[in-house]
Amino acid sequence: MRRDNNLKNDLIIRTLLGEQTERTPVWMMRQAGRYLPEYIALRNKYSFFERCQTPELACEITLQPVDIVGVDAAILFSDILVVPQAMGMEVQLIEKQGPLLPEPIKTAADLNRIYSAGAAGNLEYVYDAIRMIKKELDGRVPLIGFAGAPWTLLCYMVQGKGSKTFDEAKGFCYQNPKLAHQLLQMITDVTIEYLKGQIAAGADMLQVFDSWGGLLNKQDFETFSLQYIRQIVAAIKDEVPTIVFAKGAWSSLGEMAATGAHGLGIDWCIEAQQARQFAGDKITLQGNYDPARLLAPVEEIQQTTEAMLRAFGPGRHIANLGHGILPNVPVAHAKAFVDTVKAFRHA
Ligand code: CP3
Mutate to test the pocket of ligand 1, among 39, 47, 79, 208 (most ligand atoms within 8 A of CB): 79
- DSSP assignments along 125-164, one per residue: HHHHHHHHHHHHHTTSS-EEEEEE-HHHHHHHHHH-B--S
Q: Are 51 and 84 in contact (CB under 8 A)?
A: no
pLDDT digits (tens, 9 = 90+) for 109-133: 999 999 999 999 999 999 999 999 9
Task: Examine the pLDDT at 95 and tell me if it is beyond 90.
Answer: no
- Give me the catalytic one of 3, 4, 23, 43: 43
Domains and CATH numbers, the chain: 11-343 (3.20.20.210)
Looking at every residue in the chain, the average pLDDT score rounds to 97
> Which of 210, 195, 346, 196 lies closest to 265, judged by CA?
210
CA atoms within 13 A on the CB side of 213: 31
CA distance linking residue 58 with residue 46, whole number of Å: 11
Q: Are 65 and 19 in contact (CB under 8 A)?
A: no
Confidence of residue 347 (pLDDT cuts 50, 70, 90): confident
Cβ atoms within 10 A of the Cβ of 241, count? Answer: 25
pLDDT digits (tens, 9 = 90+) for 324-337: 999 999 999 999 99
Q: What share of the chain is helix, strand, coil (3-state, %, to 5)?
A: 50, 10, 35
42 CA distance to ligand 1 centroid (A)? Answer: 16
pLDDT digits (tens, 9 = 90+) for 163-197: 999 999 999 999 999 999 999 999 999 999 999 99
Q: Which atom of ligand 1 is nearest to the CA of 28?
A: 1
The dihedrals phi and psi of 211, each to the nearest 5 degrees, come to: -60, -25
Burial 56-90 (b: 16+ CB within 10 A, else e): ebbbbbbbbbbebbebbbbbbbbbbbbbbbbbebe
Based on the residue annotation, tell me whether 156 is a catalytic residue of this protein: yes
Task: Examine the pLDDT at 224 and tell me if it is beyond 90.
Answer: yes
User: For 253-281, what is the mean pLDDT?
Assistant: 98
- Give me the catalytic one of 3, 23, 34, 131: 34
Task: Examine the pLDDT at 215 and tell me if it is beyond 90.
Answer: yes
Mutate to test the pocket of ligand 1, among 80, 101, 245, 323 (most ligand atoms within 8 A of CB): 80
- Give me the catalytic one of 4, 23, 79, 131: 79
40 CA distance to ligand 1 centroid (A)? Answer: 14
pLDDT of residue 138: 98
Percent of the chain with pLDDT over 70: 100
The partner residues of 103 in beta bridges, in order of sequence, read none
pLDDT of residue 96: 84
The CA-based angle 262-316-150, given to 5 degrees, is 30
Percent of the chain with pLDDT over 90: 99
Q: What is the DSSP letter of 224?
A: I
20 CA distance to ligand 1 centroid (A)? Answer: 32
Name which residue sits closest to atom 22 of ligand 1, judged by CA: 211
Cβ atoms within 10 A of the Cβ of 165, count? Answer: 11
Mutate to test the pocket of ligand 1, among 28, 29, 30 (most ligand atoms within 8 A of CB): 30
Q: Strand, coil or helix: what is 99?
A: strand
CA distance linking residue 127 with residue 124, whole number of Å: 5
Name which residue sits closest to atom 10 of ligand 1, judged by CA: 79
CA distance linking residue 305 with residue 307, whole number of Å: 5
